[in-house]
Amino acid sequence: MAQSAVLGFPRIGPKREVKKALEAYWGGKIAVEELLKVSKEQRLLTYETLKSQGVDVIPTGTFSLYDHVLDTSNTFNIIPSKYAKAGLNNLDTYFAMARGHQKGDVDLPATEMQKWFDSNYHFLVPEVSQSTKFALNDTKFVDDFVEAKQAGYNARPVLTGPITLLALSKIDSESKDAEFDPVTLVSKLAPVYGELLTKLAAAGADWVQIDEPILCMDRAADYADAFKSTYETLAKAAPNVKILLATYFGRLESNVDFVKDLPVAGLHIDLDRAPEQIDTVVPHFANKTTTLSLGVVSGRNIWKTDLNDALKTVQKAVKILGGDEKRVQVATSSSLLHTPITLKNENKLSAEVLDWFSFATEKANEVATLTAALRDPSSAAEILSTNEKSIKARRDFEKNSDPAVRQRLAAIKPEDLKRKSPFSVRRPLQDKHLNLPLFPTTTIGSFPQTKEIRAYRARFNKGEITQQEYEKFLEDEIKFVVEKQESLDLDVLVHGEPERNDMVQYFGELLDGFVFTQNAWVQSFGSRYVRPPVVVSDVSRPKPMTVRWSSYAQSLTKKTMKGMLTGPVTILNWSFPRADIPKEIQAKQIALALRDEVNDLEKAGIRSIQEDEPAIREGLPLRAAEHKAYLDWAVASFRLSTSGVSDETQIVSHFCYSDFANKQIMQSILDLDADMISIENSKSDAKILRVFQNFEYENDIGPGVYDIHSPRVPSAEEMFNRLKAFTAYLPVERLWCNPDCGLKTRTWDEAAAQCKNMVEAAKRARTELAKK
Instruction: Check the annotation: does 444 bind a ligand.
Output: yes
**Hey, is 643 helix, strand or coil?**
coil
Instruction: Check the annotation: does 768 bind a ligand.
Output: no
Pinpoint the alpha helices (H) of 76-137. Answer: 81-84, 90-99
**Hey, is 611 helix, strand or coil?**
strand
* Residue type present at position 759: V
Q: Catalytic: 709?
A: yes
The contacts of residue 437 (CB under 8 Å, 6+ apart) are: 491, 766
Dihedral of CA atoms 538, 540, 542, 543 in degrees, nearest 10, equals 160
In order of 535, 538, 583, 672, the CA distances from 589 in angstroms are 11, 7, 10, 18
Q: How far apart are the first and last CA of the chain?
A: 72
Rounded Cα gap, residues 19 and 93, in angstroms: 19
Rounded Cα gap, residues 377 and 138, in angstroms: 45
Polymer length in residues for the chain: 772
Pinpoint the alpha helices (H) of 451-546. Answer: 451-461, 467-488, 505-510
Asked if residues 457 and 463 have their Cβ atoms less than 8 Å apart, the reply is no
In order of 112, 213, 536, the CA distances from 522 in angstroms are 21, 20, 19
Rounded Cα gap, residues 677 and 666, in angstroms: 12
Q: How far is CA 13 from the centre of its chain?
A: 19
Instruction: Check the annotation: does 495 bind a ligand.
Output: no
The contacts of residue 662 (CB under 8 Å, 6+ apart) are: 617, 620
* Residue type present at position 306: D
Computed from CA positions of residues 558, 554, 598, 497, in that sequence, does the dihedral angle turn out positive or negative? positive
Instruction: Check the annotation: does 446 bind a ligand.
Output: yes
Instruction: Check the annotation: does 120 bind a ligand.
Output: yes
Among 122, 284, 338, 709, the one annotated catalytic: 709
Rounded Cα gap, residues 417 and 311, in angstroms: 44
Provide the 10 A C-beta neighbour count for residue 27: 9
Asked if residues 231 and 258 have their Cβ atoms less than 8 Å apart, the reply is no
Instruction: Check the annotation: does 741 bind a ligand.
Output: yes
Rounded Cα gap, residues 188 and 415, in angstroms: 56
Asked if residues 657 and 113 have their Cβ atoms less than 8 Å apart, the reply is yes
Q: Residue 150 burial (CB < 10 Å; 0-12/13-18/19+)?
A: exposed
Dump strand ranges (E) for 541-617.
560-566, 608-612
Instruction: Check the annotation: does 671 bind a ligand.
Output: yes
Rounded Cα gap, residues 481 and 483, in angstroms: 5
Q: Residue 629 burial (CB < 10 Å; 0-12/13-18/19+)?
A: exposed
Instruction: Check the annotation: does 222 bind a ligand.
Output: no
Instruction: Check the annotation: does 737 bind a ligand.
Output: no
Computed from CA positions of residues 735, 740, 741, 743, in that sequence, does the dihedral angle turn out positive or negative? negative
Rounded Cα gap, residues 627 and 617, in angstroms: 10
Instruction: Check the annotation: does 356 bind a ligand.
Output: no
Rounded Cα gap, residues 321 and 290, in angstroms: 10
Instruction: Check the annotation: does 497 bind a ligand.
Output: yes
Dihedral of CA atoms 257, 261, 263, 265 in degrees, nearest 10, equals 80
Output the DSSP codes for 183-236: GGGHHHHHHHHHHHHHHHHHTT-SEEEEE-GGGGSGGGGGGHHHHHHHHHHHHH
Asked if residues 31 and 52 have their Cβ atoms less than 8 Å apart, the reply is no
Please choose, from the candidates 38, 29, 27, the residue with its C-alpha nearest in 3D space to the C-alpha of residue 65.
38
Q: Which residue positions form the known binding site for L-methionine?
A: 444-446, 497, 612
Q: Which residue positions form the known binding site for L-homocysteine?
A: 444-446, 612
Catalytic sites, residue numbers: 709
Q: Which residue positions form the known binding site?
A: 19, 120, 444-446, 497, 574, 612, 654, 656, 671, 680, 741
